Structures are given as C-alpha cells and as structure tokens.
Structure 1
C-alpha cells in the first residue's frame, strides 16, 4: 500500500492533469489538506513537497503552492472576466507559473488631452492628464504580449513614478484606495503580417493575434484605466468566467470573431 502522502499527492496531480487545477491556480494548502483528508501537519507538508518535487507545482514563500505551466511552447492560459486574475498582473502570474518575466518600455509619456475607447458597445473616456505606457512583455525571453495602458492621473497622481512591472490593479486598490466596481473586456482576433507596423513580435509569417480591449471602472462612469493589448495567437489560450461577482457588480465580456 502506498504511503498516504503519496496517494493524496497523486490525487491532486491527477486533478492538474485533467485541467481541474490550471496553471497559476493555488494547490490546496496544508490546512485544507488536513481538513479534507484528516491527516497530520507532517503528512500534509509531505504531500505538497511531493507535488513540487515532481514538477507540478511551485511553493512561493508567504503565498502558497501554485500549479506550474507545463504546456508545450510556453502556451499560456488566461481567464477573462476574473477579478482575481486581473489583480495578479502579468509579472506575478508568470512567476507563479514558473516563468521569468521581462518588460521593455517603448513609450512612457503623459497625454494632456485624455483618451477614449469603444468596448462592449460603449464609449469610455479618461479625461487628461493620462499616463500612457507602451511596453513589450516577455516570458523567458519570448515576447508574449504587446501592451498599451492608459491610466488616469487625476485618480492616480504620481503613478508615473512607479515601476511598470507592478500590478496596477492592486496599486489602484492599495495605494489610491480606489474601489473597482467593474471590468469591461472585448476580445477580438486579427491576422498580423511581417510587414505590419504593429508587428513588434518579429514574426516572419502571417500569424493570428488576440486583441484585448479593456476598461477598469471605479464608479458608474468613472474610468481609471483603458488598455489595448496584442497577444500572440500561438502562445495563448483564453478561458471565460461568466457572471463573476465583485462587490455585487458583474464584469462584462464580449468576443468578436473579427476586428472592426
């Protein structure tokens, strides 16, 4: 008969293989294992060490144990409509999955006249001044995301002085005391060619790209951030959470098969 910590760890690894626990998801904690399986602290600790030693998860000190990304060719799964996923931010999500993030800033400037964007059929506006950050985001030296973010400097003064690898969502909440009420997102698909002026991926053939437009709201018509990002179609999969709850509000998500 297998030791108890082995059988329990294999049960959790099987959940990972089946997709019940996805890359970046938190593995049950020691206390959760103790409660679920009626085991000792020592056995629970051995379970987590076994899962980690087999390469299925990684322990991050002070945070917990997270499922690693073992997909081929660095393919990443991202969840739309998830406040928790948005709160983590790009760099933290990659670290949790076992990748090394890197960011290259192409532009960081202040726009005095503001910015606007059409998302889920509605026009969203941030009045100036607005911080514009355009950066390329890498996982293990592979360019994954071409991101342009616009942030209200009226709502977040001096945020331009902070490093760009932070989770901006967390910063809005913790540093500026902003209560996020909604996240609007539209995902579309386009074909990007080598000759495209938007091709920062250095692709040498026509490649599908995901285009994510989003707006983060902190009131009925108050927008703290607008984002437009390009994701490599061969490196990403997107999952959708329907009707997620966040402070009694519902995030909106729309999928366009073709970009207008």
Structure 2
C-alpha cells in the first residue's frame, strides 16, 4: 500500500499533467495540504518534497512551491487579460517555471514628446516626457521576447532612475500608489525574415512571431505604460480571459482588484 504522502503527491502531479495546475502556478502549501487531506505536517512536507524531487515543482524560499515547465517543447503559456499575470512580471514568471532569465538593454532614453498606440480601435495617448526602454528578454540564453516599453514620466517621475530588471507593474502600485484598473491588449502575428532589420531573434530561417500591443491604465483613464513586444511564436502559447472577474474588497476606503 502506498504511503499517504505518495498518494498526495501523485494527486497533485495528476493536476499538473492535466493542465489544472500550469507552469508558474503555486502548489498547495504545507498548511493547505494539512487542512485538505487531514494529515500531519511531516506528511504534508514529504508530499511537497516528493513533487519537487520528481522535477514537477520547485520550492522558492519565502514564497512557496511552484510548478515547473516540463512540456516537451517548453512552450511558455501566457494569459491575456489577467492583471495578476501582468503584475508578476517577465523575470519572476520565468524563475517560477524553472528558467534562468537574462535581460539585455538595447536602449533606455527619455523622449520629450508623447507617444500613442491603437488597441481594438481605440487610441491611447501618453503625454511627454516618456521613458523608452527597449530590451531583449532571454530564458536559459534563448531570446524569447523583444520588448519595447514607454512609461509616463509625468505620472511616474524619476522612474528612469530605477533598474529595468524589475516588475514595473508593482512599482506603479507600490511606489507611485496607482490602482491599476485595466490592461488593454492586442495580439497579432507576423513572419520575421532572417535579414529583417527588426529581427533580433537567433533563427536561421523565417520565424513566426507574436506581436503584443498593450496599455496599462489607472483610473480615470490614466495611461501609465504602453508596450509593443515580439514573442517567439515557436516558444509561446497564449490563453485569453474573455470576461475577467475581480474580487473587490474595501480596505481603509481603498478598493482593490
């Protein structure tokens, strides 16, 4: 008869294999396993250790245990329309999936004029000055994302003094105290040729690329960030939340989503 901790670990691994738990998702904590399966803390701890030892998850000190990316083709799944997914940031998401992130900054400059973009037929305008950041995002030395961000220096003064190796989404909330109300996104696809001047990916032949345009908004319709990013089409899959639902709680007069 299998030990209890093995049965628990197999139940969680089954959820990982079925896609109920995705790469980067948090595995139930030790306390949650104790409550759910009515077991001791020793059994719960051994269950998590068993999942980790089999390579399905990784424990990150102080944060928890997270599902690793074990798909054969190592496709990365990203969810459009999810504020939580955007808040986590590129580097943190990769670390939680077991990859080693690396960033090369190609350009970091202040534009005195404003910028704009069109998403789903609506124009989003950001007045100057604007911080422009063009950077290449790697996972295990493979270029996955060619990212260009425009951030409002009018709304976020001196943000250009901060490192680019962070989640700007969290900076908007924690440092500048903006409540993120929405993230508008457009997804399209193109084929990049090897000799294209805009092609920074390491590919010998034509490469399918996802183009993601996005605008990060704070009420009432303040444009904090505009972004245009290119994702390797052979390494990414996108999920979409068609009707995201937010749980709203009121704390000290501030509504959080």
| Pair in the same fold by TM > 0.5 | yes
- Tell me how far apart the structure 2 counterparts of residues 175 and 68 of structure 1 sit (CA, whole Å): 31
1:117: Cα distance to partner?
0.2
- Tell me how far apart the structure 2 counterparts of residues 141 and 243 of structure 1 sit (CA, whole Å): 36
SS in 1 for 2:243: coil
Q: What is the root-mean-square deviation in Å for CA atoms of aligned residues?
A: 1.5
Alignment correspondent of 2:91? 91
Alignment correspondent of 2:113? 113
SS in 2 for 1:245: coil
Show the 5 A alignment for 1:17-56: 17-56=17-56
SS in 1 for 2:16: helix
SS in 2 for 1:191: strand
In the alignment of these two chains, the number of paired residues is: 250
* Structure 1 length-normalised TM: 0.93
CA gap 1:198/1:247 in 2 versus in 1, 3 angstroms: farther
Alignment correspondent of 1:78? 78
Alignment correspondent of 1:197? 197
1:247: Cα distance to partner?
6.6
SS in 2 for 1:204: coil
1:176: Cα distance to partner?
0.8
- Tell me how far apart the structure 2 counterparts of residues 139 and 74 of structure 1 sit (CA, whole Å): 11
SS in 1 for 2:116: strand
Is this contact kept in 2: 1:181–1:246, CA < 8 A? Answer: no
Question: Do residues 139 (structure 1) and 135 (structure 2) align?
Answer: no
Show the 5 A alignment for 1:158-237: 158-237=158-237
- Tell me how far apart the structure 2 counterparts of residues 74 and 139 of structure 1 sit (CA, whole Å): 11
- Tell me how far apart the structure 1 counterparts of residues 155 and 208 of structure 2 sit (CA, whole Å): 36
1:35: Cα distance to partner?
1.3
* Structure 2 length-normalised TM: 0.94
SS in 2 for 1:224: strand
1:72: Cα distance to partner?
2.8
Is this contact kept in 2: 1:181–1:247, CA < 8 A? Answer: no
- Tell me how far apart the structure 1 counterparts of residues 124 and 73 of structure 2 sit (CA, whole Å): 36
SS in 2 for 1:181: strand
- Tell me how far apart the structure 2 counterparts of residues 100 and 51 of structure 1 sit (CA, whole Å): 21
Structure 1 runs (4+) greater than 6 angstroms displaced: none
- Tell me how far apart the structure 1 counterparts of residues 222 and 154 of structure 2 sit (CA, whole Å): 11
- Tell me how far apart the structure 1 counterparts of residues 8 and 28 of structure 2 sit (CA, whole Å): 11
Show the 5 A alignment for 1:2-13: 2-13=2-13
Is this contact kept in 1: 2:143–2:202, CA < 8 A? Answer: no
Show the 5 A alignment for 1:57-76: 57-76=57-76
